[in-house]
């Protein structure tokens, strides 16, 4: 039988027809095209599938019921993760249709917190391959490896070197679970077709002795390359990406704090790129604070911030809060004066030796308070400064204590407490404890999902400060508007747009974030806001669209089967 050509997908550039010559088992093994038991009798004859599937075609809705039953039958979260990854490897349309109908239930499985365990057990649970694994030996040949992907199709790339995975550190090649999970959220939230998403793991060794001593470990079995060798590797990688995928947006993910800032600052002008740990985290936190000030009936500029944890996420939060305060009317210096950041050595002070450059701009003078001697602890800061917002990005479980909340209550009737570290085992405080310590007065948001807290007869929904509310919309806007550089202002705009998606009902429940099942709606709204801002900023931009709502919706892929036919 001759090879047939058929419809492939509707893409972000508005294209509907993609001719592809593939039939039989090749078609069944293509995860982006396979319909499994849903192939009709006509399609089975047309594409040489007769005898390769059970004889009774199964409608899409019946497939969805069957795979959901399979999901429910998995006894543990990691088994549910493996079940969904297997489904994704076989039939991505069915996978995304299933997850999109059960977002609240399945997002914590395909990403945080379960993805952390999946990264740790990657070599022992390895399934079907996807994406690129780039090493020091093959990085110079990336353009050759890229021949397996259509450069015109790839719209978004997520890359990690796996050194700082969530709160669990160096996971070597197992960090590939992060780009795969992030890109799943791009598809679910922004409707970017899965074939337009490329996950990349930079396998440059690992300093994790458990992995190096594990005979099952699948990555490069040596210590991480560092220093100039690392810098040269990243330089080669970026240049190869520019050659191989010139139209793609690059997202840096889970690099160490110094490498995260260095890579972002060095390459942000060379290609449209951003770091979600820095910019996405900052943006989603600012949105939550904007929601909380609505509960308090105050302004953003009324708040004073203590950020406990000065890594990439913590300083990213400080950067975005400063940008938000400036948009609210403060000068950059006035905004900076309202932000205090702390790390393992206490409050970041300007007399500290060998202070990281990215922390220096928020360093305070010790002379500000005569009582500040030696290490200035969180207790000291909260006793001396009228902090209204306490944000945790430290990864130190239980770092927030009852005395910290009491100190805030001494000058603030409704303190905002955001223990954001992932996974739940690293959270700076448990929501239930915060409600007990504050007698129900605190406004609480977390980084990981938590159940509602019942306090004095009222149920409080704990809003999750999940970056998924930000990065899919920003990424989609960058792709559609064809931006050359992704700037902090895009994330500030995204923060304010997300805050507008927080309903009065959400706030009445005590939640400063929307519910996750609204993800697609929110991503489209964020993308629209960012695109409008970009168009107004550059009047010469040739990209002009009157009806952005329709334009965006028409370019968001929906996980449903299209009829396959010869063209």
- pLDDT digits over 444-494, tens only? 999 989 999 999 999 999 999 999 999 999 999 999 999 999 999 999 999
CA 477 to CA 380: how far, in whole Å? Answer: 43
CA atoms in the 13 A half-sphere facing the CB of 499: 21
Average pLDDT estimate for 309-314: 93
As annotated, the residues of the chain forming the CATH 3.40.50.10380 domain(s) are: 64-271
Average pLDDT over residues 421-438: 93
For the stretch 217-269, pLDDT in tens is 999 999 999 999 999 999 999 999 999 999 999 999 999 999 999 999 999 99
507 burial class (0-12, 13-18, 19+ CB within 10 angstroms)? middle
The whole-model pTM stands at 0.94
CA 259 to chain centre: 18
pLDDT score at 301 = 97
Quote the mean pLDDT of the chain: 93
The architecture CATH gives domain 64-271: 3-Layer(aba) Sandwich (3.40)
3-state secondary structure of 548: helix
Q: Is 182 helix (H, G, I), strand (E, B) or coil?
A: helix
Q: Are 88 and 184 in contact (CB under 8 A)?
A: yes
Mean pLDDT of 520-549: 83
Contact 303, 418 (CB under 8 A): no
Give the tokens for residue 461.
């929904």
Helix (H), strand (E) at residue 183: helix 177-190
3-state helix, strand, coil in the chain (%, to 5): 50, 10, 40
CA distance 265 to 261: 6
Task: Determine the angle formed by the axes of helices 312-327 and 257-267, rounding to 10 degrees.
Answer: 50
Q: Which residues lie below 8 Å from residue 348, measured CB to CB, with a gap of 6+? A: 310, 341, 342, 355, 359, 362, 363, 364
Asked if 392 and 313 touch (Cβ cutoff 8 Å), the reply is no
Contact 94, 194 (CB under 8 A): no
Peptide bond into 373 cis (omega under 30): no
Distances (CA, A) of 234 to 255, 445, 481: 12, 36, 27
Where does 130-190 show beta strands of DSSP type E? 132-134, 156-160
Res 5 pLDDT > 60: no
Question: For residues 198 and 156, is the Cβ–Cβ distance under 8 A?
Answer: yes
Nearest CA to 226 among 193, 198, 262? 262
Q: Are strands 389-392 and 416-419 parallel, antiparallel or unpaired?
A: parallel
Identify the CA nearest to 186 among candidates 444, 416, 473.
473
Question: Which residue intervals of the chain bear CATH 3.40.50.720?
Answer: 278-567
Residues sharing a CB contact under 8 Å with residue 444, sequence separation 6 or more, in sequence order: 417, 418, 431, 434, 435, 453, 460, 462, 463, 510
Residue closest to 288 by CA, chosen among 450, 145, 164, 470 = 470
Q: Is the pLDDT of residue 7 over 60?
A: no
Strand segments, DSSP code E, in 387-490 are 389-392, 416-419, 443-446, 453-455, 458-460, 463-464
**According to the model, what pLDDT value does residue 430 have?**
96
Helix (H, G, I), strand (E, B) or coil at 340: strand
User: Which tokens in the block code for residue 524?
Assistant: 């489209």
Contact 316, 309 (CB under 8 A): no
* H/E element, 400: none
Of the candidates 155, 154, 78, the one whose C-alpha atom is nearest the C-alpha of residue 121 is 78
Q: Which residues are catalytic?
A: 111, 182
Nearest Cα to Cα of residue 415 among 303, 266, 549: 303
Cα angle 562, 564, 565 (rounded to 5 degrees) comes to 135
**Contact (CB, 8 A) for 376 and 407:** no
State residue 535's pLDDT score: 80
* pLDDT at 17 (0 to 100): 47
Query: Contact 288/272 with Cβ under 8 angstroms?
Result: no
d(CA 109, CA 192): 20
End-to-end CA distance of the chain: 16
Cβ distance 31 to 90 under 8 Å? yes
pLDDT tens digits along 72-89? 999 999 999 999 999 999
- For the four alpha carbons of 340, 341, 344 and 349, in that order, the dihedral sign comes to negative
Each residue of 128-163: pLDDT tens digit? 888 999 999 999 999 999 999 887 789 999 999 999
What is the rounded CA–CA span in Å between residue 367 and residue 354?
A: 19
- Binning pLDDT at 50, 70 and 90, where does residue 543 land? low
Alpha helices (runs of H) in 301-351, residue ranges in sequence order: 312-327, 332-337
Q: Reply yes or no on whether the pLDDT at 213 is more than 50.
A: yes
3-state class of 164 per DSSP?
coil
What pLDDT is recorded for position 545?
62
**Better-predicted residue by pLDDT, 407 or 15:** 407
Give the three-class secondary structure for 303: coil
What Cα–Cα distance (Å) separates residue 173 from each residue in 146, 185, 238, 248? Answer: 19, 21, 19, 23
Residue 542, pLDDT above cutoff 60: no
d(CA 361, CA 131): 38
Contact 6, 567 (CB under 8 A): yes
Q: Which has the closest alpha carbon to 290: 272, 306, 277, 303?
A: 303
534 SS3 class: helix
Residue among 90, 170, 93 at smallest CA distance from 127: 90
- CA-nearest of 315, 331, 317 to 286 is 317
- Give dist(CA 343, CA 378) in Å, integer: 10
Give me the CATH code for the 278-567 domain, please: 3.40.50.720
Pairing verdict, β 453-455 and 443-446:
unpaired
């Amino acid at each position: 039988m001759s090879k047939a050509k058929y419809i492939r997908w509707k893409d972000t550039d508005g294209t509907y027809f993609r001719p592809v010559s593939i039939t039989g088992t090749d078609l069944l093994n293509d995860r982006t095209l396979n319909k499994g038991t849903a192939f009709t009798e006509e399609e089975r004859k047309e594409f040489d599938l007769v005898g390769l599937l059970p004889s009774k075609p199964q409608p899409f809705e019946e497939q969805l019921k069957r795979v959901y039953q399979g999901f429910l039958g998995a006894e543990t979260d990691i088994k549910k993760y493996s079940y969904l990854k297997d489904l994704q490897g076989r039939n991505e349309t069915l996978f995304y249709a299933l997850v999109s109908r059960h977002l609240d239930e399945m997002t914590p499985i395909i990403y945080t917190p379960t993805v952390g365990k999946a990264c740790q057990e990657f070599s022992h649970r390895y399934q079907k391959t996807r994406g690129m694994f780039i090493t020091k030996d093959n990085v110079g040949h990336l353009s050759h490896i890229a021949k397996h992907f259509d450069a015109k199709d790839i719209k978004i790339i997520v890359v990690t070197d796996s050194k700082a995975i969530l709160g669990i550190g160096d996971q070597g090649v197992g960090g590939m679970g992060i780009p795969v999970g992030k890109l799943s959220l791009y598809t679910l939230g922004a409707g970017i077709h899965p074939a337009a998403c490329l996950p990349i793991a930079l396998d440059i060794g690992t300093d994790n002795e458990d992995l190096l001593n594990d005979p099952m470990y699948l990555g490069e079995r040596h210590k991480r390359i560092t220093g100039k060798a690392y810098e040269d590797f990243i330089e080669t990688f970026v240049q190869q990406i520019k050659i191989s995928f010139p139209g793609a947006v690059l997202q840096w993910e889970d690099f160490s704090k110094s490498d995260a800032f260095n890579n972002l600052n060095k390459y942000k002008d060379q290609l449209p790129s951003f770091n979600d740990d820095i910019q996405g985290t900052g943006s989603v936190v600012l949105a939550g604070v904007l929601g909380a000030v609505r509960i308090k009936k105050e302004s953003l500029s009324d708040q004073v911030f203590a950020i406990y944890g000065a890594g990439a996420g913590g300083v990213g939060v400080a950067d975005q809060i400063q940008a938000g305060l400036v948009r609210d009317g403060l000068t950059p210096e006035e905004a900076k004066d309202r932000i205090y950041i702390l790390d393992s050595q206490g409050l970041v002070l300007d007399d500290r030796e060998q202070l990281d450059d990215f922390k220096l701009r928020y360093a305070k003078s010790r002379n500000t308070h005569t009582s500040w001697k030696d290490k200035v602890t969180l207790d000291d800061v909260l006793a001396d400064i009228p902090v209204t917002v306490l944000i945790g990005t430290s990864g130190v479980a239980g770092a927030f204590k009852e005395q910290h909340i009491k100190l805030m209550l001494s000058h603030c009737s409704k303190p905002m407490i955001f223990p954001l570290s992932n996974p739940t085992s690293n959270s700076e405080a448990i929501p239930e404890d915060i409600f007990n310590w504050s007698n129900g007065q605190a406004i609480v948001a977390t980084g990981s999902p938590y159940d509602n807290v019942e306090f004095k007869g009222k149920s409080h929904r704990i809003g999750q400060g999940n970056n998924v509310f930000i990065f899919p919309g920003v990424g989609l806007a960058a792709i559609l508007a064809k931006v050359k550089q992704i700037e902090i202002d895009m994330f500030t705009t995204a923060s304010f747009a997300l805050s507008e998606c927080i309903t009065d009902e959400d706030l009445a429940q005590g939640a400063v974030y929307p519910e996750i099942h609204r993800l697609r709606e929110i991503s489209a709204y964020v993308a629209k806001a960012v695109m409008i801002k970009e168009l107004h900023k550059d009047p010469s931009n040739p990209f002009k669209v009157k009806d952005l709502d329709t334009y965006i919706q028409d370019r968001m892929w929906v996980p449903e089967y299209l009829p396959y036919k010869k063209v």
